[in-house]
């Protein structure tokens, strides 16, 4: 199964100059824990609910903190025409639960999450990926 068959194609974006409160509203509207960060039509980061909690709130920063100050800058992505099983293996190795999907021109076309994989026709790979992601000691930046 190709990534394009399992991914969520509708993607909401934020930009580095928006506040984390505005980004959190987007997350609430789409019922997601992540929103890609785009600047000048280029993917420059990812903002997760964890980024907001750990990099902003836990450090005493308020709702007016800029997305660019707390986002994850190292963006891991996959291509829409890759095999979902290969991408899942990479997600497990990198201990990530969601990954942006780009086309071969590196334009954002969707997001692939464990949830997408779980409801796909090849849902068994989601459990294997979750087991790999859940291993202790994942080197997540704080």
Give the pLDDT of residue 126.
53
Q: How confident is the model at residue 141 (pLDDT cuts 50, 70, 90)?
A: very low
Q: How confident is the model at residue 81 (pLDDT cuts 50, 70, 90)?
A: very high
Tell me the average pLDDT across 4-30.
Answer: 95
Does residue 79 surpass a pLDDT of 90? yes
Going by their DSSP bridges, the two strands 98-102 and 108-113 should be labelled as: antiparallel
Rounded CA gap, 83 and 123, in Å?
A: 13
Domains of the chain: 3-133 (3.10.580.10)
Q: Is the dihedral of CA 50, 110, 114, 98 positive or negative?
A: negative
pLDDT in tens, 87-137: 988 988 888 889 999 999 989 999 998 878 777 655 455 555 555 544 555
Judged by DSSP in three states, 100 sits in strand
Share of the chain above pLDDT 70, in %: 84
Average pLDDT over the chain, rounded to an integer: 86
Q: How confident is the model at residue 69 (pLDDT cuts 50, 70, 90)?
A: very high
pTM tops 0.85, yes or no: no
Judged by DSSP in three states, 32 sits in coil
């Amino acid at each position: 199964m190709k990534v394009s068959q399992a991914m969520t194609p509708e993607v909401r974006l934020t930009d580095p100059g928006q506040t984390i409160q505005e980004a959190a509203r987007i997350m609430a509207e789409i019922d997601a824990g992540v929103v890609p960060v785009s600047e000048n039509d280029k993917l420059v980061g990812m903002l997760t609910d964890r980024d907001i909690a750990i990099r902003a709130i836990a450090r005493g920063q308020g709702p007016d903190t800029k997305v660019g100050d707390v986002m994850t800058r190292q963006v891991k992505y996959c291509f829409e025409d890759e095999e979902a099983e290969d991408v899942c293996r990479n997600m497990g190795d990198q201990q990530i639960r969601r990954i942006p999907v780009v086309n071969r021109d590196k334009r954002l076309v969707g997001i692939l999450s464990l949830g997408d994989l779980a409801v796909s026709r090849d849902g068994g790979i989601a459990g294997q990926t979750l087991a790999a992601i859940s291993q202790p000691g994942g080197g997540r930046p704080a």
